[in-house]
Structure 1
Amino acid sequence: MGYVPWTCTINLYHRTNMTGGFHYLKKRGHTWFFQRAVPKDLREKLGKEQIVETLETRDLTVAMSRRTERAAYWEAVFKSLRGSLKPTSDVDAREVYKDTLECSLSADIEARSVESVETSADEPLTEFDIQQDLLLDQAATQFGQDEQGHPLAMSPQQQAKWDGLQDYRRIKRNMPASNASKYGLTISEATDRYLSRAAQKGDAQTVRQHRTTLQRLSEFVSDKPLKTLTRSDVGRFMGILETLDPAWGKSPRDSSRTFGEIRRRYSGTGRQLSDITLNRHLGAIRALWRWATTVGEVEGDCPTEGLERKISKKTAQERTYSAFDLGEIHQLFSGHLPQNHDVVEICMVGLFSGMRLGEICALRWEDIRDDEGVAFFDVDRAKSIAGVRRVPVHSYLTWLLDRRKDAGPIWPRLAEREQDKASKAVTKAFGHFKKSKGFSSRKKVFHSFRKTFITSLAGSVAQSA
């Protein structure tokens, strides 16, 4: 529960106490009645303008207690008519804030006075005043009140409704909504939504890497709302990552360790993450912010701006994978080959298609299609929209067409694993294979087949031109 910003409520309570708190109450003869005007935006739906109910008592104290119960009941009815069907206690505070603000703006609750409901000083009450009074009464009943009659605390949902009402009033006075940032998506909530979307594109490795970064960022800043994330927050987070040993994240146990445990375990080893790796972590935060911008959860400059590490051309070249030349291709595939022939087949597909390893491992027989007699791989699970494409089946890959089936994975043993684990298994197997053929350079990896394909294709285009 949170404490109420009393600087906003003192005047309201002074007005209520001075008038005796008689709103919603009307005496007819010796009996007290509950009387409440229906908000103008709901009169057509409810079919009446006034609510008048007997409270069946002559005692003012009993009448005030029953008045509070009936007011709460009708507030629930109004919420239902406006489309907010869940009880407030079951709704996330963020949803309460948004619902309160949107309904208040839609109904214009401050501008429309509530007819026939007046204080003893003949001061008309607006719908805004009544909702504040009711909210404060509920909080005081639930949590108690101090000597001045102020409730001692509010539940998160009550505080959210209060904040929504205050921001409604600020917006009506052309002032910025000061509480909006408190009720945005938290970093962990935004991460789950963003990665859920990213996972649909089939890029399991990127999803895994981004989740690692964003979970640690969320933990570091106490899972604050994403829209309140600052450049300073990201800068301090990156400063800590900079001190970690490159072995961080390699152990399966690291996923269950807290960020504090990771810092104690991997800091001060004398080795640090490279600038390229740090930029990759920044890229995860940037991607989350870009997604949140497109769905309207944040706006403005990304907090990663200006924090990217500069990479020298020499360093970039050293980390860049190199293509296999024709002699090296012969060296690889002459003589002894791996017992697991799936690895050889996948290498051949990579060499003669330029496809990425993850795309190849995910191939199914139904992904091989024909168009006017030309067979092609239909790649629809790619890292980006641009990666969704048709790749012609090279004449050196016709052996695939010879054993073509109607459906099912092309390499069933790989299909039993998750996509990123299948790619890792092939990467590991290829690593052993290339070493057995005398390749020790870290620049010659499976991705080098893609480089070879692109280089050969560019050379053919240049010759034909």
Structure 2
Amino acid sequence: MDKAHNLQLRGGTYHVRFDVPVDVRKAFGGKRILSRSLKTGSLTEAMHRRSRYLTAWWEQVDAARDGGPLAEGWQDGVLDTITAIDGMMQDQKRGLIGEKVPQVEIDPAVEARMRSNPRFVAVFEAWVRDHLKDGMGGKVRLFDELGQGIQSLIPAALTRSQSIPAGQLQELKALVTNPGAHRPRSPLTPAALEAFRAFRTKHGVSSANIATQHKRLMHLSAYLAETGKTLDFDCVAAWIDSLGLAGKTQQQYLLAGNAFWRWAMKYDPRWRETFKGAVSPFERHAVALPKGKAALDAKRKEFTLLDMNRLYAAAQEAGNVPLADLIKLGYYTGMRISELCSLHTENVINVDGVEMLDVTDSKTPAGIRRVPIHPAISNLVIRLVENSIDGFLVVTDFVGKQGDRTGALGKAFGALKTSLGYGAQHVYHSIRGTTITQLARHDVPYPMICELVGHKTRTLVFDTYSSGFSAQQKLTAISTVPRLETDLCCDSTLQLA
């Protein structure tokens, strides 16, 4: 067994192996060892595939050690308790000067438990007598210290039945020590954002659109929590300005906020009550959009064929097989990164004798389509299907909390293109522009290009009445995309060691 790499070769197949730390084995059902087959005899591929399992197992270990977090809104509950304790003590102090105040009621069970400890009763009574010696001042001090003492027990009471993350425990103690320093939580709560996500999913909004807007709303929620500002026009203006983004991107953030606002005012009773009579703070913002030469300079640029060869060769030389595959897939299909990363092996289908990639979820309705597999990537697709261990076509080491599979690959591509000298105008989406340009330069008709890349033609004939081109017609069209140099040299995909 290769302990340094958590790998074990059994019967010609590598397994990833993980020794569960002693202190968290109970959370793993008492298991000492976790093991999964990597379904490969290649050490290089096994080294790559082990990462997702090890990452997931270590996250489970951390979660077991940290414990479960307190329920959403716990800060408000603590503040309410502190306010109630303070109010009770203030009442008792007013009673000292003759005001009629409510009698403090002690839970009989608590009183019985206290009286069952004679030592505690003796110490408490001595403490009270010591304060009563000082007259009125001592009595006032007695209630102040009693309130502080009860307040200091809040963390122990909340953590008696559960272990909570260290960071949350620290926040709890700080809140009890200094309640006035607490900033109100964001009204965009995780529960509200999740309900909004579920609503949009139910109504057929693409997962890519939902994930993007969710990320933007989470950013706004974090800003509100950090600054303690009220959600209003001025707050949104300051938030948008703090992003440091281009005007067009700022508009997308405002659109996300507006979409949530409209939903919440209809379907979230708490939100309706909180913002009753308010207008959307996401509207009527002046966003600076570039014009003329500035707009042209800010526009994304496509990669040339020479650029594509450089990118693919660099990914190969770096040994990043998944990234090299993604670059090639994007070039020969014209598909968005989110579309490629959401493809399952079952999305490789045969239509009228033509192998195709079936895009069942996309940014727009027009994006739901079937794209023929270019002859240059037929072997690549076969390899990806055969080697898939999670049912997805594209391999990635990391999956986000909301199921986003593009993050790690997108960052890897960004690092690669930056290392080659490409700037902000060149992104993964630029490859899509390269494909479209090549289709146009090889006399592929406009409606065909739109159908291949998932755009509306904006014509009544094709968008409303036409059933589209045949699978064979689309294969002929996509095959006009020129082959990369590596595919000209040898009609095969990158071979794994």
TM range (shorter): 0.3 to 0.5
TM-score normalised according to structure 2 size:
0.42
Which structure has the bigger radius of gyration? Answer: 1
TM-score normalised according to structure 1 size:
0.44
Higher helix share: 2
